[in-house]
Structure formats: structure tokens, C-alpha cells
Chains A and B, each alone.
Chain A
């Protein structure tokens, strides 16, 4: 691998955005995984597909409509789930399929715009602009600050909702906050891995990190490190071998998961 690729400015933007997204997805994803809400990221991503199609049809920058549609539909589905007592997995299925359905119908109306859609489905991290990078960094910073300020409350309501309620923690508000932050995170990350592989970034580094048997902060740090490693190495490898970054990143993080499983079954990690 030649070091020359590190001098390209598009590569700088890709790596900077990639690292920010890696950290963001791993932190937000940790709470989703612990809430048994692993596929929620996937569901939001699919609903953003409807938003993207809407943006392309209306001639608006598709990520803006994707933010709007994803966040609103995620909040609505959470409200419906609470009100009608629908289970988490069923509500995820509803959100997921309705987003795709809306997207398909809109595409049908407009006579099809398959090329643009393709980059949203599979990501296009090497094409991120300076504006995109600034947006990604600001949103990452904002969400991380909120989580840092509230993590003990968020963690408590994730650990045991009832006990948290009795301690006077506004559990419902925190649930909506997490859904809101997950919506922003997913749409922000679409540029890196696309709609179809989003939940890999949310779930795999966290499942891996939890296996190390550590406390909360260390688990979060391990997860972020694995996530950043997969994204950076994935972007570089994919460029050198001219393969898709999204697939490479996800395969690398699966490799880390597999490696951790091997270490664990060899008895080198504390039992849990």
C-alpha cells in the first residue's frame, strides 16, 4: 500500500468523516443494543430511503428530507409502540417496511432515478464534500456532548426502566431522546456505509466489546476503538484494491468479532 493515498484531500475528508461516524455509531449503538433494539438503526435507515426518494423527487438535497422523514417516523413509531403496546421487534418491522414502501412508490411516480439511489443504498464515503464533513463533525460533536452529560440517566433507564422511574428519572423523555439521536446518527452515517449496512456499525463493535467483560466506560471505549479501526482500515484497503468501502468495513468488524470469540472460547477472557 502506498502512503501517497494519505495525501489526497478527498481521502482526508473520508477518513475524518469516517472516524466521526464510527465513534458516533458505536456510542449510540451501545444503548440500542443494550435495550434489545439492535435492529432499530436498520429500521430508521430503511425509512430514510423513503425520505431520500422524496428529496430526489422534490429536487431537495436528499439527506435533508431523509433527516426529516427518519426522525419523524422513528418518533411516531415509538409513540405508537407505547400507546398500543406493540413489541419492539414488530414495531421495527413496521417502520422498516413502510419506509421502503414509500420510497418505492415515489420512485415509481417519478419514473425512476436508480443511479442516485444506488449511492445511498451502499454509501459513498470517498465522495463526501467539505460541507458534508463539517455537518458530520458538528452532529457527532453535539450528540456526544448530550450523551456525555446524560449518560448516567440514559444508562439507568436502559438498565432497569422501573427502578429508574422510581428514582425520578424522566424515562419516557430519555427514550424519545435516544430515538431522536439514533435517527440523526443513522442518516448521518448513510454516506459511509449506506442504508443497507447501517446496523452493522451500530451492533457489531458493541457486541464484540461487551464480550470483554468490562465496565460501561471501558466497553464503550473498546467498541469505539474497534469501530474506528474497521472504518479507517476498511476505507484504505477498499481504495487500494478498488472494492466497496461499506462491505470492507463491515467484514473487518465481523473479523474482529470472530477474533474476539476465538480468544473468549480459548478462555483468555473473563467468563460472563
Chain B
């Protein structure tokens, strides 16, 4: 197994709280990893650190065997789909524009066409991004993440505020990307059932990592699930 990501003793200390406490795990090539945890469990902090947006951490993060503090080259191999991309509603860009943003001037047009078709947004390509529904926008951003032919796809809670039909389509696309195109997927989610169905590995995070392994092991262990649910519930009560 080729290790694509190695995280060792990752600790992030914010002024008032320890967001991540001594987290270590490995992601292998081809893994479909579901990261679960209640609100405030440190999922976003983990992603920010992995993506180089947060550099104030202790420990090491390696992509493809190389420390990300030493080189940002690994970012070229990553497609990132943010939770809810923030942009002005009347920003004058079409789906075509969005997908090509940031690319070199000569882009692989056939490949882009193929991706737009695969994600069912081909017919929307001349529409402005702000006119689309949440589910359509999400597929545009997945398409955008895929145009560089990434080896790893990182998705942050990507079904918030999206209708059920779009969610189903989104899940089937993820499954296909992982099984057919062999893209390693790192996906944070609240939805335990979806993680159970899709992911082959689970990382359960609540500031510390209290489980990481094959998803079958997690979902066949009632004690672990109960522990997780209680932690989520406490967090939930805490928030209200």
C-alpha cells in the first residue's frame, strides 16, 4: 500500500481551546476515508492544516512522503471542494469560466467536456454560477477540483443545504471517482449512514482521534457508535 498522507502528532492550539490534540493517522492510496465528528471536533482545522491554510500546528503532515512545510507542490495533486464556496451572487462568471479559473491558458478542453458531462452540468456550462441551485453549484466545484486530474479529492461537509436528489447524485459520483478512477477521497461528513455506505475507512474525530480504521470495524462495533453518538449529542446540547 502506498501511503499518500501521513499525519503525526498533529496538535493545534487556539488561544482559548485545543482544536486538535495529538492526532496521528495514515491514508493509503485508494482509500475512501470518511471523517466524522460533532461540530467543533476539529474537522475544519484538520483540513485547513492539511491544505496549508493553517500553518500554526505542532507535529508533521506529509503528502506523498514529503513534509508540506517544505514544499507546496503537493497541492497540484489535490482537488479541494470547500463546504460552501463564498462568492458574490452576481459575480460575472459562467460555469465554463469557473471550471477554467486558475488553469494555464491552454487547458485540456476534451477533458473538461468529459468532466462536465460526468457531473451532469454540461448543459449549464454557459449559465452564471450565481443562478444555479446549491446542488448544481456543488457539482461545478467538484468539476473544478477534477480538472487538474488530482490524485486526492478533499471534500468538507459537502451536502449542507442541498436537496436529497442532488445528494444521491453526488454520492454516486464520489463512488465512481473512487472505484473507477482510483482517486483517494478524504471526506468529512455528519451523515453516519452515508459514511457507512460509501467510505471504506473511518476516522472519528473529537479533538483527539478516537477511532481510525476500516469502516466495517467501526460500524460493527456498537460500543464505538454509542460513544460517538453520545459525544455528538453532548456537543449538540452544548450548542443549544
Contacts and interface: CB of A to CB of B under 8 A. Distances in A.
Task: Tell me if chain B binds chain A.
Answer: yes
Interface of A: 34, 149, 152-153, 155-156, 159-160, 162-169, 209-210, 213-217, 219, 271-272
Contacts, number: 77
B67 interface: no
A271 B130 CA distance: 11
B75 interface: yes
Given A152-B104, A159-B87, A209-B92, 5 more contacts: A155-B93, A163-B80, A168-B76, A215-B93, A271-B131
Contacts of B53: 162, 165-166
A88 to B, nearest CB: 14
- Kindly name the residue among B96, B98, B102, B103 whose own CB sees the greatest number of chain A CB atoms within 10 A: B102
Interface string B110-128: 0000000000000000101
Contacts of A164: 101-102
Contacts of A162: 53, 82
Contacts of A272: 89-90, 128, 130-131
Contact of B126 (A169, A210, A215): A215
Interface of B: 51-53, 72-73, 75-76, 78, 80, 82, 85-94, 96-98, 100-105, 126, 128, 130-131, 148
Nearest to A223: B92
A216 B92 contact: yes
Contact of B82 (A156, A163, A169, A210): A163
Contact of B85 (A149, A160, A165, A213): A160
B52 A166 contact: yes
Given A152-B102, A166-B75, A169-B102, A160 B93 contact: no
Contacts of B85: 160, 163
A214 B52 CA distance: 34
- Kindly name the residue among B93, B105, B126, B130 whose own CB sees the greatest number of chain A CB atoms within 10 A: B93
Nearest to B77: A168
